[in-house]
Amino acid sequence: MEERPNNSENRTSQNPAVEESLNRKTKETEGSSEISRPKIGDSRPAPDSTEPQSSTRKKRKRRRGRSDSRTPKPDQAISVELDDETLKKRRGRERKGKAVGRYTMVVHVEGNVTQIAMLEGRSLIEFYVSRPSDDVSEIHGNIYMGRVENVLPGMEAAFVDIGTPKNAVLYQSDLISNSSTKGNQAVRIEDAIKNKETILCQVTKNPIAHKGARLTQEISLAGRFVVLVPNSETFGISKRLPEKERKRLRQILEKAKPSEHGVIVRTAAQHITKEEIEQDVTRLVSQWVNIQEQSNKSSSPTLLYREPEMPFRIIREEFNKEYRSVVIDDQQLYEEAKTYLATVAPALADRIEYHDTVNSDVELFERFYIEEQLAKALDSKVWLPSGGSLIIEHTEALTVIDVNTGKNVGTSSLEETVYKNNLEAAKEVAHQLRLRDIGGIIVIDFVDMEKAKHRDDVVKVFKAELARDKTRTQVFGISELGLVEMTRKRIGEGLSQTFTKAQE
């Protein structure tokens, strides 16, 4: 993908930066010729290495009609014909002819900035900002031919030039020679790579603040149903799938898996046919061949493959029958998404909706109350339903969340009041971590509870809520001081930085 204090109505209007950023309209840009850019799906390589990687591509305008130039390329997915019975099984629930689902994806395009809001019911749970031409900060998943600038044996790491302002870092554990080894069997980084050597690498973490991107030599290419791990023996199936389905997919994978590459079957492959999995594998292998061909004729540092634009990545990674709809207010992006979804999930293709801002009474984000939820998400204070509150503070080293009872005076006893307040806080903290995309070390100061059962219940509820977050977390129990220590994998810069950069 955040609440405020009592006077949040006043504070929203008192924050000019938020007001300006939420309402500002970016000028449409015309004129520059369009360079080949990543298409829908998962299989578009980066532009030819001889072309400049600057923002010379034509920026997407607010309103555009259909374009004949957007026809699918041969390396894009070609849909497998499915019978009516299979399509019926994959369709989500409907009520009175309308789709029913827990989630909604809202995509707002303004100038060259795409803002994506994920809603659960009416509640904002995740928020992303994407610039199509951003090859500096939003590079997770991109593949590069990099040049080693400095090997540091004492840090078990090397700095690699991939063409970004800050050199990326490759740790010893991420060397391809160490991807399947353990402990003392690992190859030392100074023995594996040398200064000025060119290496093929992939970004696993975007650059954050003063830190460069993190790299790995173990390349992986994600499709809708499988992940291809080139030159590997990896063989895996998502553990989220039932055992019976895992057994069926294992039999399919044994025949579909290329002998020289590894394959991991994703959760989205549940109930998917053999032909669809084989097609996904074939397409990813072809994609890898294209990347290899580019790497053989490219000098370093060079971008070899760029991940598709964010709306398509989210559709590829997450969209399923639990989603009620994807609502888009840009005509061209709507057509592209509709075509892509009809290819990878034809049973859900009718869940793409176009919001015509010109002929509508309200803007898209107003329609779903996203603007006011974003304003609250940028505040440090979050109110709980019963009157308690959270205070969220960031430091260089960690994030601290303080839980207060505030106006929650309870009805029976202090212990019971504190217990219920902490249960509310546990759910809200999990929600805030996801919405604000808070990563790294996090310390939560719950209100002290006397009973061990109450402490255990709070941690249990907290972990259950975190389980719904796709980002990896690790939680420890409540200490004697009433503190919960946890970590959440840091992938992006967080909501505040992301939102600020969108306005620059």
User: Of 68, 62, 73, 77, whose CA–CA distance to 37 is shortest?
Assistant: 73
Strand order across the 483-488 sheet: 381-383, 389-394, 398-404, 440-445, 483-488, 473-478
Please give the single-letter amino acid code of residue 329: D
How many angstroms separate the CA atoms of 17 and 294, rounded?
Answer: 44
β-strand partners of 484: 444, 478
> What does the pLDDT read at residue 264?
95
CB-based contacts of 160, cutoff 8 Å, min separation 6: 146, 147, 148, 149, 167, 168, 169, 170, 199, 201, 215, 301
Of 379, 328, 374, nearest in space to 502 by CA: 374
Q: Please report, as a single letter, which amino acid is at residue 298.
A: S
Residues 457-463 have a mean pLDDT of 95
State how far the Cα of 28 lies from the Cα of 110, in Å rounded to an integer.
8
DSSP string covering 474-500: EEEEE-TTSEEEEEE---S--HHHHHH
Map residue 341 onto helix, strand or coil. helix
Report the first-to-last Cα separation within the chain, whole angstroms: 20
How far is 227 from 3, CA to CA, in rounded Å? 37
- Contact indicator for 144, 304 with CB cutoff of 8 Å: yes
pLDDT at 249 over 90: yes
Residue 380: the pLDDT is 92
Overall CATH class of domain 84-131+310-368 = alpha beta
Q: ω before 165 within 30° of 0 (cis)?
A: no
Q: What are phi and psi of 347, to 5 degrees?
A: -65, -20
Residue 292's SS3 state is: helix
**Segment 476-501 mean pLDDT:** 83
pLDDT in tens, 9-21: 444 444 444 444 4
pLDDT averaged over every residue in the chain: 81
Q: Enumerate residues 6+ apart whose C-beta is below 8 A from 78.
A: 72, 279, 343
Residue 316 clears pLDDT 80, i.e. is over it: yes
Beta bridge partners of 5: none
* pLDDT reported for residue 176: 83
Yes or no: is domain 142-179+186-216 CATH 2.40.50.140?
A: yes
Structural contact between residues 403 and 392, judged by C-beta atoms closer than 8 angstroms: no
Cβ atoms < 10 Å from Cβ of 81: 7
Quick one: what percent of the chain has pLDDT higher than 90?
49
Question: What share of the chain has pLDDT > 70, as a percent?
Answer: 78
Indicate the pairing of strand 235-237 with strand 262-265: parallel
Distance CA 167, CA 6 (A): 45
CB atoms closer than 10 angstroms to residue 146: 30
Structure tokens that stand for 445 in this block: 């100061």
Domain ranges of the chain: 84-131+310-368, 142-179+186-216, 221-305, 379-501
Using DSSP, state whether 278 is helix, strand or coil: helix
Burial per residue of 346-367, b for 16 or more beta-carbon CB atoms within 10 angstroms, e otherwise? bbbbebbbbbebeeeeebbbee
Instruction: For residue 25, report the phi and psi dihedrals to the nearest 5 degrees.
Output: -110, 125
Looking at residue 7, what is its pLDDT? 42
477 vs 71: which has the higher pLDDT: 477
pLDDT per residue as tens digits for the range 366-382: 999 998 998 899 899 99
What is the pTM for the complete model shown? 0.75
pLDDT of 116 over the 70 cut: yes
pLDDT of res. 135: 67
Give residue 79's pLDDT.
54
- What is the helix (H) or strand (E) element at residue 99, kind and residue range? strand 98-99
Average pLDDT over residues 270-299: 91
> What is the model's pLDDT at position 168?
95
Residue 85, pLDDT score: 58
Give me the pLDDT at residue 153, please: 93
Cβ atoms 403, 390 nearer than 8 A = yes
Band of pLDDT at residue 84, cut at 50, 70 and 90: low
pLDDT at 321 (0 to 100):
85
Interacting residues of 402 by C-beta distance below 8 A, sequence separation 6+: 390, 391, 393, 445
Return phi, psi of residue 95, to 5°. Answer: -135, 120
- Rounded CA-CA distance 292/165 in Å is 25
Q: What integer is the mean pLDDT of 218-235?
A: 92
> pLDDT by residue (tens digit) across 428-451?
999 999 999 999 999 999 999 999
Q: What is the dihedral of CA 456, 457, 462, 465, to 10 degrees?
A: 140
